[in-house]
Chain A
């Protein structure tokens, strides 16, 4: 599988792993290695003096490029401040921009998202927005200077897969920046479908971290992303209403 580029930076793996939901830092490390991911997301939260072990050390040992997110933010203002805090803490200008509308669906708030994206781009950030599966919003995010667009397949953690493959295809067809399917993946076939739809990559967390065996699922996701990418590159056969024989129609013996 060939690598891909976001904002001039090349990544070998097209799978980005979210580190939320794992039972321990150790399992994060094992799963990241099994997934082959080069990029891992982290969230910014209040320091907990009681917490043990260093997540950053685990991710650094696994060779991961860190992508901080703005999870938990409901307004553009909070998301922008959180991105700036992450920049200070982690010395990166990259951010997975997340501005949600409510805490039940966790769906993005389109207006706040676009506002925050424009502000952060102007402030020099490389912005990767988690967005709705809305082709128009994806275009707007690209036009304000986002380095990628990351539409959801379905709500975060829902495991419902890709609910609107037609919109995803429209987003892919019109984008000139990488499209990364972010959120909703439940199992390997969902990740393969995203890649077959032409996504440049897949970002997932819960599907691995909350699987019964996260490390085994991380391996499955690596294969699924590779298989989906290779199938897309290979060019699938068209769907047909009727069958088309694969054996020769000439030279059939007359046996009656």
Chain B
């Protein structure tokens, strides 16, 4: 298992977890339309979610559009 932080919460994911796993662990179900993810402050394009692996200690931010502005 790797320990990491998803949306500010300490979490554990299996070894070899990728950005897409981080998105699911962040509470997103289905096609994740309208969702974006940053790992350690860098945006991970949707096309790279499956191939971007999450390292021990990674900070994952899973964001969506909300009322604002």
Enumerate chain A interface residues (CB-CB to B < 8 A): 18-22, 25, 28, 41-49, 51, 54-56, 66-69, 71, 81, 84-90, 96, 98, 203, 205
Q: Contacts A47-B26, A48-B27 known; A21 to B67 CB distance under 8 Å?
A: yes
Chain B residues within 8 Å of chain A by Cβ, number: 25
Considering the complex of A and B, which 10 residue pairs feature the smallest CB-CB distances, nearest first? A43-B68, A41-B69, A49-B27, A89-B36, A18-B69, A88-B36, A85-B36, A42-B65, A69-B69, A20-B68
B1 within 8 A of A: no
Does the CB pair A42–B8 fall under 8 Å?
Answer: no
Does the CB pair B67–A96 fall under 8 Å?
Answer: no
Contact mask B45-68 → A, CB, 8 Å, 1/0?
A: 110000000000000011111111
CB distance from B9 to the nearest CB of A (A): 10
Does the CB pair B65–A89 fall under 8 Å?
Answer: yes
A22, A85, A90, A203: the one within 8 Å of B67 (CB): A22
Does the CB pair B68–A47 fall under 8 Å?
Answer: no
A-B contact pairs, 23 of them (CB 8 A): A18-B69, A20-B69, A22-B67, A41-B69, A44-B64, A45-B68, A46-B26, A46-B63, A47-B27, A48-B27, A51-B66, A55-B65, A56-B65, A66-B65, A67-B69, A81-B43, A85-B37, A86-B36, A88-B37, A89-B64, A89-B65, A90-B65, A205-B68
- Interface class of chain A by DSSP: mixed
Taking CB atoms and an 8 Å cut-off, the chain B residues in 4-39 that contact chain A are 7-8, 26-28, 33-38
- How many angstroms between the C-alpha atoms of A20 and B37 in the bound complex? 22
Of A46, A49, A86, chain B has the most CB atoms within 10 Å of the CB of A46
